[in-house]
Amino acid sequence: MKHESPYDLSLEVAASTFAALGSEQRLSVLRCLVRAGEQGLSIGELGKRSGISGSTLTHHMKILTQAGLTTQMKQGRSIICAAVAYQELRTLSEFLLKECCADSTTCPEDHIHG
């Protein structure tokens, strides 16, 4: 999911990415990785922090990686997982807000800028 702006993000790509995020456990995993920053976390540490381990964590990481939101890299005996798609996550958020109040005669600023 590489896109320059929310305007070139297709509905199909957005839906696919939201589907990858459509699980409490995957959202928890991604939030842990975002909090960890660029260095990421070992799969063991990610399991501890997210409360998900084993084959369930592997399954969720596979889905997040296929969506282009995370990476997994072998480092010695460890597998390091990291969130890599910060701009794509921002673009996905902007996709939702880009037409805020488009069909309304008024649009309070706080709807767009939180």
**CA angle 103–107–108, rounded 5-degree value:** 165
13-61 pLDDT per residue, tens: 888 888 999 999 999 999 999 999 989 999 999 999 999 989 999 999 9
Task: Tell me how far apart the alpha carbons of residues 89 and 22 are, in angstroms, rounded to a whole number.
Answer: 14
Per-residue pLDDT of 60-75, as tens digits, reads 999 999 998 999 999 9
Gap between the terminal Cα atoms of the chain: 25
Task: State the Cα–Cα distance between residues 88 and 111, nearest whole angstrom.
Answer: 21
Q: How does residue 108 score in pLDDT terms, banded at 50, 70 and 90?
A: low
- Domains, the chain: 6-95 (1.10.10.10)
